[in-house]
Structure 1
Amino acid sequence: MSSQAEISERMRAILIDWIIEVQYRLTLMPETLYLTVYIIDQYLSMESVPRKELQLVGISAMLIASKYEEIWAPLVKDLMCLCDNAFTRDQVLTKEKAILDRLHWNLTVPIMYMFIVRYLKAAMCDTELENMAFFYSELALVHYAMLVYPPSVTAAAAVYAARSTLGMNPPWTDILEHHTGIVEPQLLYVLR
């Protein structure tokens, strides 16, 4: 964010929170959400974006992620409608191409969702633990400070926080340590 002249961490958080709402409203797959946030963050790290175009970057990133992850991607006009038609179809498609060009079309990346699903299997979780872990992972998506950690560490921290919140004892097991390669003191450092 230090390279952004007009965009702050708070503005990024508002955008990501809105993207999460859009993902739920359109009933898109979780992979689409996590890839969308990855694309937004990568693009913002490479390109200075004017404040008035931040939502355009978000919706274009979601269009890209939807085309990559979904069987049926939402229509551009539906995404435009969610933005109160603040942008034209040409603007969305032009920004989509600009983002893809800037990222060199590299979309196959390890996102937090892939790790959290694996870690939850290792934790032999129930629905309550799963919901709590995904709640924490979505909170992590919003908070800029969490970007310093690799997706695997953030996913492990979400599972650890969920297990701790639900009073599971121990909060971090040998099996989870084996599957994540992360020991409990590392997680406590992330969650401080």
Structure 2
Amino acid sequence: MREQEEEFRIKNNYLDTPPLKKNSKKHKLTREDRAIVVDLVFEIHRKYGLVPETLFVAISTIDRYLSMRKEPLRKSRDIESIGVAALLIASKYEDIYPPALDEMITMMGRPSTRKEVLNWEFKILKQLVFQITVP
């Protein structure tokens, strides 16, 4: 059990990545980005009355995925798509009736497509080796 805790531990400094080059088309993840995505996940969670565990699993999934990423995000809106994908994963795992993806997408501040969110869902599950909950 202790080894599993170490294996899935979130890096404390995963938001403290070096700055990007000025001409870079990639987006550096900031603490504000994380706050925005957690707020979005919380709002969707509250609107649909999902079980409390769904919120905890979603935020854990976001943090674990982002701490394992090697490269910066390509677009600033990717962080919201990651949040919705993580909430979708958590809701499928914890809730009896997960909310419809199209409805969750309408709550995003930056528009995204169903395909983008589903691609992020796959990337997250693959990166986390389908380990949704961890000790």
Per-residue CA distance 1:84-105 (angstroms, 9 max, x = gap): 6711111111110010000000
Query: What residue number does 2:106 align with?
Result: 81
* Residue of 5, 18, 38 corresponding to 1:16: 38
Query: What residue number does 1:45 align with?
Result: 67
Matches within 5 A, 1:34-113: 34-47=56-69, 48-50=72-74, 51-83=76-108, 86-110=111-135
Contact 2:77-2:110 within 8 A present in 1 as well: no
Q: Which has the higher contact order (CA 8 A, sep 6+)?
A: 2
* Residue of 23, 26, 29 corresponding to 1:7: 29
Aligned mates of 1:33, 1:46 — CA distance in 2 = 20
Contact 1:3-1:45 within 8 A present in 2 as well: no
Asked whether 1:32 is paired with 2:54, we answer yes
Matched position secondary structure for 2:77: helix
> Tell me, which stretches of 5 or more residues in structure 1 are unaligned?
111-192
Read off the aligned partner of 1:49 and give its amino acid letter.
Answer: L
In the TM superposition, what is the alpha-carbon distance from 1:67 to its structure 2 partner?
0.4
Contact 2:45-2:55 within 8 A present in 1 as well: yes
The size of the alignment, in residue pairs, is 110
Read off the aligned partner of 2:62 and give its amino acid letter.
Answer: I
Read off the aligned partner of 1:37 and give its amino acid letter.
Answer: I
> Tell me, which stretches of 5 or more residues in structure 2 are unaligned?
1-14, 21-27
Per-residue CA distance 1:1-45 (angstroms, 9 max, x = gap): 123751111221122122112211111111000000000001110
Contact 1:32-1:69 within 8 A present in 2 as well: yes
RMSD between aligned alpha carbons?
A: 1.7
